[in-house]
Amino acid sequence: MEEVFPQTLLILGFPVRDTVVSTWITIAIIIVGAWVLRRTAPTALEMLVDFLRGTIADVMGSVDPDPFVPFLGTLLIFLVVANNAGVFPLLQTPTKDINTPIALAVVVFFAVYVFGFRQKGVLGYLRELASPLFILDLIGQLSRTLSLSLRLFGNIIAGEIIVAVIYRLVKPIAPLAMVGLGLITAVLQAYIFTILATSAISSAVQPRSSK
């Protein structure tokens, strides 16, 4: 079961978790993949961007989704690749390390404020926050951040443990079905995380009267 949990490697004498190395490789794969698609299949890349834009627009409602597509689209693509990275030899799933989901959730937490400031202005957004329910709003945002990270981590690590246990019991062939199910779950968790992040940002940029 040790292989399920992050291990520490020594790189140039510095201790680095294998999930961090896999995160670096995941980022490289996404960058190279985007470059290859742009060169060889620009239509497919445009279709991907249109899909991301449509998905975000469905949640944003009347708000123009274009300013949010780069951040939220990158988040979704990263999570889809990262959640499935463990399928490839020598790679680990970055999101099975609790630090990765927490880092992503914290990024979303601050992105809500950044987009809120950009959409309504610093004073305008702060004026909306300065209400008698500010403390409750802040607690809700912090709990949302915690929920985002724990939901992603819990589902990914649970899938890894189940596959590892089944492999120990019945060896290589039987766990293939669980691996296939894990791939579907990993994509679904990436989608859910992104939709929840989109909803949080949408709440920040929508006019207060429409909420």
How many CA atoms lie within 13 Å of 195's alpha carbon, on the beta-carbon side? 10
Q: How far apart are CA 75 and CA 91, in angstroms?
A: 20
* Number of domains comprising the chain: 1
The predicted-structure confidence for 24-57, as pLDDT tens digits, reads as follows 999 999 999 999 988 998 898 899 999 999 999 9
* Residues sharing a CB contact under 8 Å with residue 85, sequence separation 6 or more, in sequence order: 22, 25, 26, 91, 92, 93, 94
The predicted-structure confidence for 89-123, as pLDDT tens digits, reads as follows 788 899 988 999 999 999 999 999 999 898 888 88
Closest CA to 108 of 116, 98, 119, 97: 116
List phi, psi (to 5°) of 155: -70, -40
pTM for this predicted structure: 0.86
Average pLDDT rounded to a whole number, residues 177-186 = 78
b/e code 70-93 from CB counts within 10 Å (16+ = b): ebbbebbbbbbbbbbbbeeeebbb
Which residue range is the domain that position 20 belongs to?
2-210
